[in-house]
Structure 1
Amino acid sequence: MAASAAMDGVAAASFRSVLQRVQLAAERSGRPAQQIRLVAVSKTKPVSVIREVHDAGHRCFGENYVQELIEKAPQLPDDIEWHFIGNLQSNKVKPLVAGVPNLAYVETVDDEKIANHLDRAVANIGRKPLKIFVQVNTSGETSKSGVEPAGCVDLVKHVRSCPNLEFCGLMTIGMPDYTATPENFKTLSDCRSEVCKELGISEEQCELSMGMSSDFELAPANFIILQIEMGSTNVRVGSTIFGAREYPKKQNQ
């Protein structure tokens, strides 16, 4: 590992550091590190940097923009597990599903319409079911996407009724203020309890994905511990791994 680390580029070395923090946080919370999925959020970053982290052993990457993901995916190894983590518009569903065969997760399903579009797109291609996180607006901010907590159970039921979708868990962005996020995360945890009770499933069958990667940058050590201690199984980290993002032009969602 020492020799490998010495040969790492900046992104690969940063990835290894973040992965170590995730593992330590899992141990501290009394959970196996294997239960925590690290999603390396690579939006605005070139294929060469993503490949560097892939070569360091990582396989789970997230993108926020449909067009960017469609352009990058064919240039990278097909063993990557892609997560779409941005706001998804109905007219972008078909090109996303068709253009990224190794798309594994969509983390931002916030209404039945998007679920139906995804279900039909997967059926038309004939690929394996797409894994879905239902996005919950836990902060009550009108600027944030997500189903209201009171509507969470009904949306989860709808996703589970779609034959080409596989419900995996709940996701929230929460408030941007690091100090305010625990309340939002508690709301998501409460939603999971309600969903599991209503559906008669165990909490292990409903993952949690909390916060935004920028939160991790604000207080990396404490924030990752907070997420994992509050039950997160899916941790999204962006610029801590890849460095500051650059937006040369407006992205198309």
Structure 2
Amino acid sequence: MAIAENIKSFNKLLSPTDTKLIAVSKTKPMEDLLQAYEAEQRHFGENKVQELVTKSEELPKDIMWHMIGHLQRNKVKYIAPFIHLIHAVDSPRLLKEINKQALKNDRVINCLLQVHIAQEESKFGFDETELFEFLNSDELRSLENVKIVGLMGMATNTSNEQQVDQEFKGLRGLFETIKSNISLPNVSMEELSMGMTGDYKIACASGSTMVRIGSAIFGSRNY
């Protein structure tokens, strides 16, 4: 029952901050997810579309599925009927495809714009200039079947906590700026998804509303 105990421990830690726990269940078997579910966990994050679809078909229907990995445009159609939140929207072209598939499914799909805040080139996301250009574009205004509900960011993978803190605080600053200055029907800054197993405490202190925790709940992964 270690998984259930881990879920309860995290929720107890996070409850004073009102931060939601997204249990990152990628590569983990159904039995592990069911243990988390029985501990009242309802938000689960996956980073592969095929795995996400398979699990959604077999597991309880009140689970809220989060797509947290890099999403290819040609895979959007598979998750559009049921996805709760797409975290890593890293381009206008991807958001346009999500809007197209949402329209086909008569849905409005909630999305987070991924912002590149790390020093590593391997991370995806908008830079600050691209972010504000897109938020002020006519293209975004025309997308009626998506809603931008916040931002997502991944800090540099480093032991330098001061750097991680600066990166998270910078993203929080962008979040607050957008919240104060951008007024569009399909933009509402509600969620700030930042923080994983190694840096969630710093993220919570910087105002994260969602942390994406995998190995600290389910144990290390076998790839």
Shift of 1:79: 0.2
1:20 aligns to what?
12
Deviation sequence 1:164-216 (CA, Å, 0-9, x none): 11111011011011412111112201211331233149xx83321113x2424
1:235 aligns to what?
211
Q: 2:88 aligns with which of 92, 103, 108?
A: 108
2:37 aligns to what?
54
Q: Distance in 2 between matches of 1:11 and 1:63?
A: 17
Q: Distance in 2 between matches of 1:238 and 1:161?
A: 36
Q: Which amino acid aligns with 1:169?
A: G
Q: Is the 8 A contact 2:197 2:212 kept in 1?
A: no
Q: Is the 8 A contact 2:119 2:156 kept in 1?
A: no
1:136 aligns to what?
115
1:10 aligns to what?
2
Q: TM-score, normalised by structure 2?
A: 0.90
Q: Which amino acid aligns with 2:104?
A: N
Q: Which amino acid aligns with 1:210?
A: M
Shift of 1:160: 5.5
SS of residue in 2 equivalent to 1:145: coil
1:118 aligns to what?
98
Q: Which amino acid aligns with 2:120?
A: E
Q: TM-score, normalised by structure 1?
A: 0.80
Q: Distance in 2 between matches of 1:207 and 1:45?
A: 26
Q: Is the 8 A contact 2:178 2:189 kept in 1?
A: no
Q: Is the 8 A contact 1:122 1:164 kept in 2?
A: yes
Count of residue pairs brought into register by the alignment? 216
**Bigger share in helix:** 1
Q: Distance in 2 between matches of 1:171 and 1:140?
A: 16
Q: Distance in 2 between matches of 1:85 and 1:45?
A: 15
CA RMSD of aligned residues (A): 1.8
1:74 aligns to what?
57
Shift of 1:143: 0.7
Q: Is the 8 A contact 1:61 1:82 kept in 2?
A: yes
Q: Distance in 2 between matches of 1:214 and 1:96?
A: 26
2:70 aligns to what?
87
The yes-or-no answer on 1:208 pairing with 2:192 is: yes
Q: Distance in 1 between matches of 2:209 and 2:222?
A: 28
Structure 2, gaps ≥5 residues long: none
Q: 1:64 aligns with which of 21, 30, 47?
A: 47
SS of residue in 2 equivalent to 1:61: strand
Query: Cα 1:159–1:22, aligned 2, differ >3 Å: closer, same or farther?
Result: farther
1:3 aligns to what?
none
